[in-house]
């Protein structure tokens, strides 16, 4: 076996998932940027997962702009990569560039966000969580927490036009639509960043009797929740008790905030989106196995009691 590997290596081949592929796979990954702690972890995990499988990974940072992502995809096509991974910043506008990739027989894999296209054969599979479910979990938690009391919620939405922002909004609305005591009184995008989350929360606090009229923050990611926590503290209120905080991602900082009593709940999004996509690519290259159209990652729900253990676990997760 060792001899086999040595020979294979010598001719420029690698052993992937137990089968010899003709050459080292090169994957171009158009990443959105580094807007959040979760995003940075996703990038770092992608590098580790590529290394584990002997894949040559080229990452292009789009700095939150779809036009940069489209340029990156065109550049990957010109370089003749074996596959293209895209974390699509917004969900529309992808057809032309995906058709170009298809013209060159380069399979496209979507990571962590979805797109809307008439022809879904333009991408091979998408690896993502069920973002509607994430929003529902957050909404159901809040309904139980307030136990029938009136609760005015302010919502910090993710990037405008991002699938996850639309779906997390819809999921939360589905959940609270079942009761009459929990209502969203203000909603605005904080673009998934800590600084924008803080800025928008400051404006909500000013508009709502210095925050006294706000019962809870629902943030589409933990970074915006952390920004909101800062704004609440600066307004002289206690996040976690005067104003409840529920968000999505499960990044280390939200667990630190839970331990400090300043955050109440988070729905975890795994940063390992690339691993399942690499495995699907390898199986496809090996014998043409087509992956399922959607590979759905698990969404675990965490509260303060889970925070110390989660904080430990996160150390091994690319954060
Ligand atoms: O698409 C996933 C979302 O993008 C994460 O929840 C958020 O932190 C990131 O910016």
**Which pLDDT tens digit goes with each residue over 214-255?**
999 999 999 999 999 999 999 999 999 999 999 999 999 999
Ligand 1: distance of its center to the CA of 1 in Å? 42
- At residue 317, the pLDDT reads 87
4: confidence class by pLDDT, cuts 50, 70, 90: very low
* Concatenated DSSP letters of the chain: -HHHHHHHHHTT-EEETTEEESS--EEEEEE----SHHHHHHHHHHHHHHHHTT-EEEEEE-TT-HHHHHHHHHHHHHHT-SEEEE--SSSSS-HHHHHHHHHTT--EEEESS----S-GGGSSEEEEE-HHHHHHHHHHHHHHHHTTS-EEEEEEE-STT-HHHHHHHHHHHHHHTT-SSEEEEEEEE-TT-HHHHHHHHHHHHHHTGGGTT--EEEESSHHHHHHHHHHHHHTT--BTTTBEEEEEE--HHHHHHHHTT---EEEE--S--HHHHHHHHHHHHHH-PPPPSEEEEP--EE-GGGHHHHHHHHTTTT-
Would you tell me the crossing angle of helices 222-234 and 37-52 to the nearest 10 degrees?
A: 150
Q: Which CATH architecture has domain 2-128+271-297?
A: 3-Layer(aba) Sandwich (3.40)
CATH code that applies to domain 131-270+306-311: 3.40.50.2300
Ligand 1: distance of its center to the CA of 208 in Å? 27
- The mean-pLDDT minimum among 19-23, 174-178, 244-248 falls in 19-23
Q: What percent of the chain has pLDDT over 90?
A: 92
- At residue 315, the pLDDT reads 87
According to CATH, where is 3.40.50.2300 located in the chain? 2-128+271-297, 131-270+306-311
Ligand 1: distance of its center to the CA of 269 in Å? 8
Ligand 1: distance of its center to the CA of 12 in Å? 37
Residue 202 near ligand 1, beta carbon < 6 Å: no
Residue 29 or 5, more confident = 29
270: confidence class by pLDDT, cuts 50, 70, 90: very high
- At residue 316, the pLDDT reads 81
CA-closest residue to ligand 1 atom 2: 112
Mean pLDDT throughout 170-177? 98
- At residue 187, the pLDDT reads 98
Strands 216-219 and 244-249: parallel
Pocket test for ligand 1, best of 31, 32, 39, 190 (most atoms within 8 A of CB): 39
pTM of the model: 0.93
7: confidence class by pLDDT, cuts 50, 70, 90: very low
Pocket test for ligand 1, best of 164, 194, 222, 246 (most atoms within 8 A of CB): 164
21: confidence class by pLDDT, cuts 50, 70, 90: low
Residue 196 near ligand 1, beta carbon < 6 Å: no
Pocket test for ligand 1, best of 249, 254, 266, 297 (most atoms within 8 A of CB): 249
Residues 104-137 pLDDT 10s: 999 999 999 999 999 999 999 999 999 999 999 9
- At residue 230, the pLDDT reads 98
Residue 35 near ligand 1, beta carbon < 6 Å: yes
- For the CA of 220, the closest atom of ligand 1 is 6
Ligand 1: distance of its center to the CA of 191 in Å? 10
Residues 27-80 pLDDT 10s: 999 999 999 999 999 999 999 999 999 999 999 999 999 999 999 999 999 999
Ligand 1: distance of its center to the CA of 168 in Å? 11
- For the CA of 163, the closest atom of ligand 1 is 1
Q: Indicate the average pLDDT of the chain.
A: 94
Residue 164 near ligand 1, beta carbon < 6 Å: yes
- For the CA of 251, the closest atom of ligand 1 is 8
- At residue 22, the pLDDT reads 63
């Amino acid at each position: 076996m060792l001899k086999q590997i040595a020979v294979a290596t010598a001719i420029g081949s690698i052993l992937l998932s137990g089968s010899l592929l003709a050459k080292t796979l090169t994957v171009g990954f158009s990443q959105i940027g580094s807007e959040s702690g979760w995003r940075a972890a996703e990038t770092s995990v992608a590098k580790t997962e590529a290394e584990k499988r002997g894949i040559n990974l080229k990452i292009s940072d789009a700095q939150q702009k779809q036009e940069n992502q489209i340029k990156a995809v065109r550049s990957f096509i010109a370089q003749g990569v074996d596959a293209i991974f895209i974390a699509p910043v917004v969900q529309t506008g992808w057809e032309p560039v995906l058709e170009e990739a298809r013209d060159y027989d380069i399979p496209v894999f979507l990571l962590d966000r979805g797109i809307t296209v008439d022809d879904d054969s333009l991408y091979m599979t998408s690896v993502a969580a069920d973002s509607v479910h994430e929003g529902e979990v957050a909404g159901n938690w809040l309904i139980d927490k307030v136990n029938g009391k009136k609760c005015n919620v302010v919502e910090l939405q993710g990037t405008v036009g991002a699938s996850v922002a639309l779906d997390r909004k819809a999921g939360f609305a589905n959940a609270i639509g079942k009761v009459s005591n929990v209502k969203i009184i203000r909603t605005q995008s904080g673009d998934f960043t800590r600084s924008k989350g803080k800025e928008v929360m400051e404006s909500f606090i000013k508009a709502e009797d210095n925050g006294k009229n706000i019962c809870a923050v629902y943030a589409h990611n933990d970074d915006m929740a952390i920004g909101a926590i800062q704004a609440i503290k600066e307004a002289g209120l206690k996040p976690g008790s005067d104003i409840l905080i529920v968000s999505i991602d499960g990044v280390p900082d939200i667990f630190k905030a839970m331990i400090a009593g300043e955050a109440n709940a988070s729905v975890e999004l795994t940063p390992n989106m690339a691993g399942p996509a690499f495995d699907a690519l390898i199986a496809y290259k090996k014998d043409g196995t087509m992956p399922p159209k959607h590979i759905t990652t698990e969404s675990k729900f965490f509260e303060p009691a889970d925070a110390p253990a989660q904080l430990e676990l996160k150390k091994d997760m690319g954060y």
